[in-house]
Amino acid sequence: MLLLPFAHNGELRFVDALFTSTSATCVTGLIVKDTANDFTMFGQFIILVLIQIGGLGYMTAVTFLTVMRRQKLGHRDRLILQESLNYPGMQGLVRFLKIVFASIAIIEISGIVILTLRFWSDMPFLKALWFGTFHAISAFNNAGFSLFSDNLMGYRNDLVINLTIPLLIILGGIGYLVIVELYNLYKKEVVRISTHTKIVLLMTVFLIILGMVLLLSLEWDNALANMPWYDKIMAAWFASVNYRTAGFNTIDLSKLTDSNLFFGTFFMMTGGAPGGTAGGLKVTTVALTILGMWYTLRGDTHVHIFHRSISPYYINKAYTSIFIATLYIVLSTVVLSEVEKLSFLRTLYETCSAFGTVGVSTGNGGVLSYSALFSDAGKINIMLLMLMGRVGVFAFTIAIIGKAAQSRIKYAEGRIII
């Protein structure tokens, strides 16, 4: 559809159209064509629809339409929906889905109203409505696509933009399960929140603060130079929120120090929470890995947090996910760096951004992402990383190698010295 003559301006190659649609569906935000100028309003609408579907998840969207038509869900459909939403159990699954869609509608409409009113002071109302709608949906779905060629750099010190966009990103990135659970807590339908929600909220706040501290300390006299202290804090807050999940930016990321680019890769690999619009390894995976290492160093085989024990299976799954993700990213970076003959660190930054479905980029020297400098084979590599990050590295790898057959044989335990 993006290749249709009335969907784009000028020439649009197939691989660039495929890259754009992949980036939109995987809610990444990396661009090899300027969304504002290289696509017509129809093309931008197609991108927005892909962002919304990608953020919701295919099964979630299809199941909701089924429920709205008052058709019953089969057992297999419920199992698939449960897996796609990361919902624990089958009880109350349809009710949970309805609350999810109601929450999404309320959050996105609120964002549209606020952003439309803000943009209305800079442009005609109808254009402001389109820009407000596009940016609100792009932000909540953690996509990072913008209708401004310089992204949101023109609103660097704007309080409304710097609060609304990050808040939408955070609400989309923490996951539907957390949103519904907080809603139920507010309605007093539950007396305590789950361990999952506690970990997600704790890690989200911790990573945002840590990202701000690193950005301010490493970029105070560099990328943030010549700004008032208020603008520096605002820019660091905005960048820290976008580092893990979305691709909006209010500063020139090509000016970041090598140290910040390197630390940024860890934030991007982490991503958001399960069952939300963000990709990456997920904050829960990183949290379980840290907990597992901490208790192993203490010589304790029983991992627990918030007075709840954690199954060794989930700890091992977290270790495996991080190892496989690191392997994919390192291999992709080495291959791209050698084939494309470009900066290793900037290529690593781009691959982590693709895998985490983040979308921040050091740029191609203009308004496009660093991926625009890659060959067609390099762009395909980035597309695969985006798909992997959105689907989940564990699920993506299992889909390739398949699950092992359940063995009924248990061998005697062997001792290995480590």
85 near 100, Cβ under 8 Å? yes
- Whole-number pLDDT of residue 66: 60
As a whole number of angstroms, the distance between CA 157 and CA 91 comes to 46
Q: How sure is the predictor about 302, in pLDDT bands with cuts at 50, 70 and 90?
A: confident
- Beta-carbon count within 10 A of 185 CB: 14
In the chain, where the domains are located: 14-401
Lowest mean pLDDT among 18-27, 33-42, 80-89, 120-129: 80-89
Three-class secondary structure of residue 39 per DSSP: strand
- Whole-number pLDDT of residue 17: 95
Supply 156's token pair.
Answer: 């660097």
Q: How sure is the predictor about 67, in pLDDT bands with cuts at 50, 70 and 90?
A: low
- Beta-carbon count within 10 A of 87 CB: 20
Instruction: List pLDDT tens digits, range 100-122.
Output: 888 889 999 999 999 999 999 99
46 near 1, Cβ under 8 Å? yes
Mean pLDDT over residues 45-49, rounded? 95
As a whole number of angstroms, the distance between CA 82 and CA 90 comes to 7
Instruction: List pLDDT tens digits, range 216-269.
Output: 999 998 888 888 998 899 999 999 998 888 889 988 888 889 999 999 999 999
Instruction: List pLDDT tens digits, range 372-383.
Output: 999 999 999 999
Whether the per-residue pLDDT at 70 is higher than 70: the answer is no
Instruction: List pLDDT tens digits, range 303-344.
Output: 888 888 988 888 998 998 899 999 999 999 999 999 999 999
Q: How many CA atoms lie within 13 A of 196 on its CB side?
A: 18
Q: How sure is the predictor about 47, in pLDDT bands with cuts at 50, 70 and 90?
A: very high
- Whole-number pLDDT of residue 347: 94
pTM, entire model: 0.89
Per-chain mean pLDDT for the chain: 87
Whether the per-residue pLDDT at 132 is higher than 90: the answer is yes
Supply 217's token pair.
Answer: 């300390």
Higher per-residue confidence, 407 vs 36 = 36
As a whole number of angstroms, the distance between CA 396 and CA 15 comes to 22
Residue 212's alpha-carbon distances to 217, 233, 237, 366, in angstroms, are 8, 8, 6, 26
In the DSSP assignment, the letter for residue 305 is E
Instruction: List pLDDT tens digits, range 134-152.
Output: 999 999 998 989 999 888 8
Whether the per-residue pLDDT at 153 is higher than 70: the answer is yes
Residue 201's alpha-carbon distances to 143, 174, 324, 381, in angstroms, are 21, 7, 25, 33
